[in-house]
Chain A
Amino acid sequence: DAKTTQPPSMDCAEGRAANLPCNHSTISGNEYVYWYRQIHSQGPQYIIHGLKNNETNEMASLIITEDRKSSTLILPHATLRDTAVYYCIVRVWVGNSGGSNYKLTFGKGTLLTVNP
């Protein structure tokens, strides 16, 4: 899997948008960008994933640059409960073809602190 780099920490005011960047300059054409987060003392939580188009779900939006070398996770209205470590990873989609890319490996991630 391609390596990703993220800032170690970020702060955001409650109610404002949180924009978390991720660089993945060595991403391959068949690798997806995934975001997970881990709130203190809880298991990791899947947020969103995408290949090249921007994606939005009930939790967040994912903006992927045209060259796919970087992406940004956007939490549109951050709340105190969004304080967590956010992990950006790139991996091949297993899909129906099987393969062994199911092993999730997290880097250091970004500690997002939402302040009141």
Chain B
Amino acid sequence: GAGVSQSPSNKVTEKGKDVELRCDPISGHTALYWYRQSLGQGLEFLIYFQGNSAPDKSGLPSDRFSAERTGGSVSTLTIQRTQQEDSAVYLCASSLAGGPGNEQFFGPGTRLTVL
């Protein structure tokens, strides 16, 4: 079946611009996660959604970052006034919350480059 999809796959923007990254989770998965991975670095947790609510936003690095999820499905991560340090691969994952092992399935990521 269809996996997690993300768009765009690549985004190049200028410092100070706003960007929106989209995630389509696996159908039926109620939990959704955003991570980012900088070059050569590990996985950095950003936010967790259960349904449309976000019980854990603790990983968002600043108030320039926000995310929403509508209809218990698609999620959008918005970065306002982008900075060069925001350059990274932004990964979305979903899981069947409550399922065995709660394994997370990842999308291909969006590579964000801030010039």
Give residues in A with beta carbon < 8 Å to B. Answer: 32, 34, 42-46, 49, 93-96, 100, 102-108
Contacts and interface: CB of A to CB of B under 8 A. Distances in A.
Contacts of B48: 102-103
B101 interface: yes
Interface of B: 4, 31, 33, 35, 42-43, 45, 48, 56, 59, 91, 93, 95, 97-98, 100-109
Contact of A94 (B4, B102, B107, B108): B102
Contacts of A107: 42
B103 A102 contact: no
Given A42-B108, A44-B43, A107-B42, A102 B101 contact: no
Contact of A32 (B45, B101, B106, B108): B101
Nearest to B46: A103
Given A46-B103, A102-B31, A96 B98 contact: yes
7 nearest A-B residue pairs (beta carbon): A43-B106, A103-B45, A46-B103, A94-B102, A96-B98, A49-B101, A44-B106
Most chain A Cβ neighbours within 10 Å, of B48, B93, B102, B104: B102
Contacts of B56: 100, 102
